[in-house]
Amino acid sequence: MKHSRTKLVFGEETFEKLQNGKILLLGVGGVGSFCLDCLYRSGVRDITIVDFDRYDLSNQNRQMHSEAHEGELKVDALKSHYPEVITISEKITPEWVEAFDFEPYDLVLDAIDDLRAKIAVIEKCYPKLISAVGSAKRLDPTKVEIRPLKKTEGDPFASKLRYELRKRNFKGDFPCICSSELPCIKEKGSFVGVTGTFGLAMCSLALRRLGD
């Protein structure tokens, strides 16, 4: 059977919860595309993906299926590989977040890198949020961790996010996929060994939370 080995790890009861879980995945780039692949292969079927971007040549070092779909909308291209996903081709902005109904979803997975949109998502649905912070500019996938945002270290993006949330008097917390490795360059370079690991770690935590 297709999922027989997954069921051996999770057990029948938990696997049924995975199949019945409802997930919203925001962003399907270097982190989000690996997370999507992991969720789908693990038996999750009710997945909604949101992204407005198209594949270009620069995506091919780190984004699943990008080499076969240059110029295509990411959500449309991924639908051809994961036919059961629900797609929304929209730019995630604070305004979009304000208007969108997050209530039906069991988990919201944030793989976007726009700071203003990220803050809006956090403020609206942090109790069921798993967020990715800085995955670019790093080389060591063994340094990838899951920590509450308040306990992330060595990540300038996470620091800026904490600062902006403090200015808004935000008191909550939520798990982040992060790295304890300091950025090794100033430019916005990326390595699939790290960005992919972020996505797989996000998927793993999502599956365990669905199964609780």
Q: Give Cα separations from 99 to 94, 95, 102 (angstroms).
A: 9, 6, 9
pLDDT > 90? residue 186: no
Residue span of the structural domain in which 26 resides: 4-211
For 8-56, the pLDDT digits (tens) are: 999 999 999 999 999 999 999 999 999 999 999 999 999 999 999 999 9
The model carries a pTM of 0.95
Find the angle CA(151)-CA(210)-CA(15) to the nearest 5 degrees.
140
Query: 164, 120 in Cβ contact below 8 A?
Result: no
pLDDT > 90? residue 185: no
Residues 6+ apart with CB under 8 A from 64: 33, 34, 36, 37, 78, 81
For 91-138, the pLDDT digits (tens) are: 999 999 999 999 999 999 999 989 999 999 999 999 999 999 988 889
Domain count, the chain: 1
* Residue 110 β-bridge partners: 26, 131
Map residue 114 onto helix, strand or coil. coil
CATH code of 74's domain = 3.40.50.720
Q: Are strands 175-179 and 144-148 parallel, antiparallel or unpaired?
A: antiparallel
pLDDT score recorded for residue 153? 86
